[in-house]
Amino acid sequence: MPHLTPHLLRTALGTLVVAAALGVVGCTSADRDTADPTADATASPTGDTTGTPAPTGDAAPRPFGAITPDTIRSAPNTLVFDGGLAVEPNSLAARAAERLTARGDDDAARAAELIAERPVALWLGDGHDDAALVDEITDYLVAAEIQDATPVFVTYAIPDRDCGNYSAGGLAADDYPAWNQLVADTLRGHRAVVIVEPDSLGMLTRCPDLADERIPLIRESVAAFADAGVPAYLDGGNSNWVPAREMAERLEQAGIDRARGFYTNVASFYPVDDERAYAERVSELTDDSRYVIDVSRNGQGWRGTWCNPEGAGLGQDPHVTGGSKGLDAFLWVKTPGISDGTCNGGPPAGEWWASFAEGLVERRSDY
């Protein structure tokens, strides 16, 4: 089957997205350039099932009722990620590649294009009004349907996210449930997976005073996704942060019994073997919950800091796994090429950093 590059997908969407959107939310148009700059507002195949399939000819997201609240935890991972992982054609990396090409910066453009061609999760922050949020989600659902694949979304708008670090922000506690419900309602009936609020549980070690407010909000968000038939994964930290037993307790409090499972290593750099050993322990402690691992930037392992480390490299390409033990997929949740913050010479969090992206590509994993 032919490989659909982001450029080809954007061309296809140019003629199909309006009609497709009418079948979902009416005639709308998203402005991706207004995305929250502090969030990973991106998207974007080697692997078992992630090769981008040819278009189906039917661009509108088809109703997808294969996952129900009762089967979210038990369904095979090939059904959870039906058709493999979708590529978002209007990702931050794809737009960076276009800008860099126009400037004649060919090396930087090639690095951005390599990242843009791979499935990367689309981050949903608090920088849009409701209509624009629905537009953004719908556009990716349409693109994913063209590919006959499953899009991965990330929610990143919980109050006091990032505990005051470089990606600080989030909605007010009174506003968050309605925002999350809108996301769930927009995804209802369509193929989609959600990564719920990176660092939301791990950061409670640093900001324990947030727990009384945050845990109920996460429980409510999990329930909304479960009721909508959308598999959700909760924050499981990483292998060098919160001990497995303590993380399992937080996950239980946050409602993992209604979620698909949890994720580890988001935006971090730890090797797969370390993450799998840790995740298997957490899985055992949470009634055999499934899990996914972020391998976007772990190709060279831990480099001494989480913030724009020198010497980092891309990890293995994102793909749905064979389902061995508790592992569902290796994902690119963090967008490779964006800055972690104004550290180690980086621009503000969420901005494309061309030289960093080039380094990640040059040092990418061989497997």
Task: Extract the runs of DSSP E, i.e. beta strands, from 147-303.
Answer: 152-155, 193-196, 232-235, 261-264, 290-294
Q: Strands 152-155 and 122-124: what pairing?
A: parallel
Tokens of 152: 């991965």
Name the residues annotated as catalytic: 162, 199, 340
> Please, which contacts does 180-184 make with residues 24 or more away whose CB atoms are closer than 8 Å?
180/155, 180/220, 180/221, 180/224, 181/224, 182/130, 182/133, 182/134, 183/124, 183/133, 183/137, 183/153, 183/155, 184/221, 184/224, 184/225, 184/227, 184/228, 184/230
The secondary structure of 296-321 as a DSSP string is TTBTT---S-SSS-TT-B--SPPEE-
In sequence order, the β-bridge partners of residue 196 are 155
Nearest one of 186, 258, 253 to 222, comparing CA atoms? 258
Nearest one of 317, 347, 366 to 48, comparing CA atoms? 317
DSSP state letter for 138: H
